[in-house]
A and B are shown apart, each in its own frame.
Chain A
Amino acid sequence: MKIGLEVHVALPTKTKLFCSCSTEASEPNTSICPICMGLPGAKPMLNEKALEVGASIAKALNCKTQDTTSFVRKVYFYPDLPKSFQITQTEDAIGREGYLGIDSKKVGIRRIQLEEDPAKIIREEDYTLLDFNRSGVPLVEIVTEPDISSEEELREFLTELKSILYYLGVDIEKEFKVDLNISLGRNRVEIKNITGVKNIIDAERYEVERQGKLLKAGQEIAAETRSYNEAKMSTEASREKESEEEYGFIYEPDLTTYSTKGIELAKPVFASRLAGEYAARYNVSAKTLKELVLFNKDALSMIEHAKEKHDMKSIIASVELLSKYNMLDMKKERLERLLLAVEKGVYPDKETLSKLYKGEQVEAAGDAVDNKTIDKEIREVIKKNPSILEEYKKNPKAANFIVGQITKKYKVHPRMVSERLNEILSG
């Protein structure tokens, strides 16, 4: 099985790719100008920031260094495309021949190209409605080689890619559209325009099964373009037969060839790789760490800040706690008291945490309870609910009830209560 992707994400710029219109607008057709409307007479002017981010993505994905980059016109007709050509990149794209490493392999990156988004189109029965606010929003398209060969790898690739993009400042929630190429047999099937990771995986699953069945039945798989139906969780042959388009690429003569040499590149952060390293070094779960840091800059920065001085388990617990109450942007110097408390097994409540966050005085956040008190409390709860021991033997999750009772009463970390409880029950 061969899977290749074309991933489209919007770049984190204030303005569009070729004009000064804001990329943020609510009312339809308010952030428009002659350029993004494709009015006769208008000319594109390249956004400096888009070029920078594009080059940074190319570097993060290990692309070969290109000295220069330029744009082409891709001609096709559709109501959402104002000039009837899209300004995009081909051979002279900002990134070429890179790769992204996942656990088991390197997935080749064929090309990374900057391009303009078409307008938003709403299909009505007898007409369409167009909102050109989206027209000209800078996109980056990442084209992979067909190197992915399982659902596992697909999922991993998408997560890793999103994390890298997230750390380069891309708003991965804003737009994440994928064209999925899957071939089990000889012919390639393209599933266009799938939004979001869940749908991508579902589409892949369906398509693999569909193609598998056909092959088993000795049937040929047609090379075609399909679309994903979210409601039915299935792919279907695109309704409209792709009319013969001949993109007829030419160099975009309203622009020039841009040097990539002087561009200040953002330093990529490979959060997943770091999580793996720390997990091994500090003997904690890699999965937990990854979940925390893949899409959370503040969490990663806290962990990096505290990792030398504190116990990693307590750091993780503190980060989880702060994350729960949206306080991850807490000042680093205020973090210390929280870490000390957590290390002692104390789990501050929202109110105390909020005080810590603001740097206000808290009474003895670090010395609320000791093991003795907790042991006593545990025994007390068991005494009151004798049946719990039986239940616990059948299902260890029953212990959650006891932990819950105690954390309600004391500022203590649930994990600490569980530890004490285990000791009591086994002892």
Chain B
Amino acid sequence: MSSIGEFEGKDIPESYYPKLVKELEPINKRLNAFLTISNPEGGFPFSVKDNICVNGVESRAGSRILKGYIPPFNATAVERMLNSGFGFLGKTNMDEFGFGSFGLNTEVPAKNPFDERYVAGGSSSGAAVATSILKYHVAISESTGGSIATPAAFCGVVGFTPTYGAVSRYGLIDYANSLDKIGVMARSAEDVRIVFDKVKGSDKYDTTCTDAKFTAKDKKKVFIIDQFTKGVDEKILSSFEKLVEKFKDMGYNVENREIRLAEKAIAAYYIIAMAESSTNLAKYTGFKYGLRNERFDEHYNEFFTKARKAFHKESKRRIVLGTMVRSASVRDRYYSKALKVRSLLLDEMNALLKEGFILSPVMPILTPKMAEAESLTPLEMYKSDMLTIPANLCGLPHISFPYAYEKGMPLGAQLITSQFNDYAIMDMVSKWEKDFEYRFKYNLGEL
């Protein structure tokens, strides 16, 4: 059921928005979904992940180093939402620059609305929490390696990551340019579709943005990938098996398949992501925007180094790793190799997806508590993205949706399809929604 359609069918008084903001503010203080809250001038409310520029509104990609950066322009996706009559509600919390799977790499982490002791997921933590607590709202979000699917799964909402290049990245504060995708979180696949239709399509400000036609080819076949169930928590697996049965009931032939390069994908992904992000983060030197170091009389090297202390630990780690993998002596061994592995994985995935969809859990682990997630080593954290990375590395459209509740916490599964077949997986989730009711703990802004 489309909440956008429902909302637009109603007569919304002007007083709705200030009331909504008033309702939201105290809860946001607890959950930290929003970094800024604005009073929309009308329209269906939408939020924007903090790494996507909104004209005149502080946009800092969850980072201290960009504190105070006020973009003088709108990201294309934001511009298109505003032009379509949606109302801007605020910027949502995230792991700094998108670096994280649990939403913890930020000043004040967002909390899971189902149980505040648990993480919201990352990096689009705030977008998922916002979608999970607001009755009428969609989130413009972004994924590089799983940053939409993961928090959507943890917070029990629908998270859609389109084909790479489907939505213009103009105005997106880069994490890794060849991997970043702007996508949507909502409470239904239908809402996702409405928003995707508004924001997609060629843009003269983004070379990589495509004007391809998006299709809805139903393939009648669903693949369960061996590597996507290996190492997955038993509890998740047992409820996932029930989901698979339901897909059989929905008329899909289910087959087990392999993605030979699935595990290698993690390494290839992180090499490319870090190589690109370490160049993107070079621009933060503390004087043209954001956090400002006023000691101009310091030599530029010291000046820059001092400013760059503001990065979160995880960012520093990725800058160093990214700089290493592209340094001349090992560039072929890591950076070029990873690009070739991506090429091989693309061949493998594209061939498989020609025949059918991939269905898998989103995360191999149950939603962790804050402290549990914090205790993971970086490599353990990176590896927890094993189910979302292959699709992200290959720019494949995928959608995450709630399919069960384990001790009151939502579980998320994902459907992956071939490039440009974005509508097909929205259709499938719409079908799923007919017999499965999503649960939410909050319904702020109810009419």
Of the listed stretches B204-212, B343-351, B358-366, name the one at the interface; the rest are far from the partner chain: B204-212
- Residues on the A chain within 8 Å of B326, using CB: 248-250
- Residues on the B chain within 8 Å of A78, using CB: 300
Contact with B along A59-77 (1 / 0, CB 8 A): 0000000000000010101
Q: Determine the distance from Cα of A85 to Cα of B284 in the docked complex, in whole angstroms.
A: 11
Also in contact, A77 and B276, with CB within 8 A (given A44-B207, A84-B282, A254-B207): no
Q: Is B83 an interface residue (CB 8 A)?
A: no
A254 adjacent to B288 (CB under 8 Å): no
Q: Determine the distance from Cα of A253 to Cα of B175 in the docked complex, in whole angstroms.
A: 11
Q: Is A196 an interface residue (CB 8 A)?
A: no
Q: Is B405 an interface residue (CB 8 A)?
A: no
- Residues on the A chain within 8 Å of B443, using CB: none
Nearest B-chain residue to A77, judged by Cβ: B304
Contacts from B to A (Cβ < 8 Å): 52-53, 59, 61, 66, 69, 71-73, 75, 169-174, 176-178, 204-208, 275-276, 278-279, 282-283, 285, 287-290, 296-297, 300-301, 304, 323, 326-328, 331, 335, 339
Also in contact, A39 and B208, with CB within 8 A (given A77-B301, A84-B282, A248-B279): no
Task: Give the one of B59, B71, B176 with max A CB within 10 A.
Answer: B71
Q: Which of B59, B69, B206, B328 contacts A43 (CB 8 A)?
A: B206
- Residues on the A chain within 8 Å of B287, using CB: 79
- Residues on the B chain within 8 Å of A83, using CB: 282-283
Also in contact, A73 and B279, with CB within 8 A (given A38-B288, A39-B71, A41-B73): yes
- Residues on the A chain within 8 Å of B207, using CB: 43-46, 254-256
- Residues on the A chain within 8 Å of B288, using CB: 37-39, 82
Return A37 CB to nearest CB of chain B, in Å.
7
A246 adjacent to B71 (CB under 8 Å): no
- Residues on the B chain within 8 Å of A44, using CB: 207
Nearest B-chain residue to A249, judged by Cβ: B326
Q: Is A373 an interface residue (CB 8 A)?
A: no
Also in contact, A246 and B296, with CB within 8 A (given A43-B170, A77-B285): no
Also in contact, A40 and B279, with CB within 8 A (given A45-B205, A248-B326, A254-B207): no
- Residues on the B chain within 8 Å of A126, using CB: 296-297
B285 adjacent to A243 (CB under 8 Å): no
B304 adjacent to A45 (CB under 8 Å): no
A253 adjacent to B177 (CB under 8 Å): yes
A75 adjacent to B172 (CB under 8 Å): no
* Cβ-closest 3 pairs across A and B: A84-B282, A127-B296, A253-B177
Q: Determine the distance from Cα of A261 to Cα of B332 in the docked complex, in whole angstroms.
A: 29
- Residues on the B chain within 8 Å of A46, using CB: 207
B73 adjacent to A34 (CB under 8 Å): yes
- Residues on the A chain within 8 Å of B285, using CB: 77, 79, 84
Those of A201-254 within 8 Å (CB) of chain B? 243, 246-251, 253-254
- Residues on the B chain within 8 Å of A45, using CB: 204-207
Return B377 CB to nearest CB of chain A, in Å.
26
A40 adjacent to B289 (CB under 8 Å): yes
Q: Determine the distance from Cα of A254 to Cα of B331 in the docked complex, in whole angstroms.
A: 20
Return B140 CB to nearest CB of chain A, in Å.
13
Contacts from A to B (Cβ < 8 Å): 34, 37-46, 73, 75, 77-79, 82-85, 126-128, 243, 246-251, 253-256
Also in contact, A40 and B283, with CB within 8 A (given A34-B71, A45-B204, A253-B276): yes
Q: Which of A79, A82, A250 contacts B275 (CB 8 A)?
A: A250
Return A81 CB to nearest CB of chain B, in Å.
9
- Residues on the B chain within 8 Å of A256, using CB: 207-208
B327 adjacent to A43 (CB under 8 Å): no
A253 adjacent to B169 (CB under 8 Å): no
A43 adjacent to B283 (CB under 8 Å): no
Also in contact, A250 and B279, with CB within 8 A (given A40-B61, A43-B205): yes
Secondary structure at the A interface, as helix, strand, loop or mixed, is loop
B59 adjacent to A41 (CB under 8 Å): yes
Also in contact, A246 and B323, with CB within 8 A (given A34-B71, A38-B288, A85-B279): yes
Q: Determine the distance from Cα of A84 to Cα of B290 in the docked complex, in whole angstroms.
A: 15
Return A114 CB to nearest CB of chain B, in Å.
15
Q: A248-B275, A248-B279, A250-B279 are in contact. List 8 more A-B contacts (CB 8 A).
A: A37-B288, A38-B288, A43-B170, A45-B205, A248-B327, A250-B276, A251-B339, A253-B178
Return A70 CB to nearest CB of chain B, in Å.
11
Q: Determine the distance from Cα of A255 to Cα of B208 in the docked complex, in whole angstroms.
A: 7
A41 adjacent to B173 (CB under 8 Å): yes
Q: Determine the distance from Cα of A254 to Cα of B177 in the docked complex, in whole angstroms.
A: 6
B282 adjacent to A41 (CB under 8 Å): no
- Residues on the B chain within 8 Å of A75, using CB: 278-279, 282, 323
Nearest A-chain residue to B63, judged by Cβ: A40
B177 adjacent to A40 (CB under 8 Å): no
Q: Determine the distance from Cα of A198 to Cα of B172 in the docked complex, in whole angstroms.
A: 47
Q: Determine the distance from Cα of A39 to Cα of B71 in the docked complex, in whole angstroms.
A: 8
- Residues on the A chain within 8 Å of B177, using CB: 253-254
- Residues on the B chain within 8 Å of A253, using CB: 176-178, 208, 276
- Residues on the A chain within 8 Å of B300, using CB: 77-79, 128
14 A-B pairs whose Cβ atoms sit less than 8 Å apart in the complex: A39-B288, A39-B289, A40-B66, A40-B283, A41-B75, A78-B300, A82-B288, A85-B279, A126-B297, A128-B296, A247-B328, A248-B323, A248-B331, A250-B326
Q: Determine the distance from Cα of A356 to Cα of B437 in the docked complex, in whole angstroms.
A: 91
B53 adjacent to A40 (CB under 8 Å): yes
Return A18 CB to nearest CB of chain B, in Å.
10
Q: Determine the distance from Cα of A46 to Cα of B170 in the docked complex, in whole angstroms.
A: 14
Return A42 CB to nearest CB of chain B, in Å.
7
Q: Determine the distance from Cα of A256 to Cα of B279 in the docked complex, in whole angstroms.
A: 17
Task: Give the one of B207, B290, B328 with max A CB within 10 A.
Answer: B207
A41 adjacent to B204 (CB under 8 Å): no
B173 adjacent to A40 (CB under 8 Å): yes
Q: Determine the distance from Cα of A41 to Cα of B289 in the docked complex, in whole angstroms.
A: 12
- Residues on the B chain within 8 Å of A41, using CB: 52-53, 59, 71, 73, 75, 170-174
B178 adjacent to A246 (CB under 8 Å): no
Also in contact, A82 and B283, with CB within 8 A (given A127-B297, A248-B323): yes
Nearest A-chain residue to B328, judged by Cβ: A246
- Residues on the A chain within 8 Å of B59, using CB: 40-41
Return B116 CB to nearest CB of chain A, in Å.
31
A84 adjacent to B172 (CB under 8 Å): no
- Residues on the A chain within 8 Å of B278, using CB: 75, 248
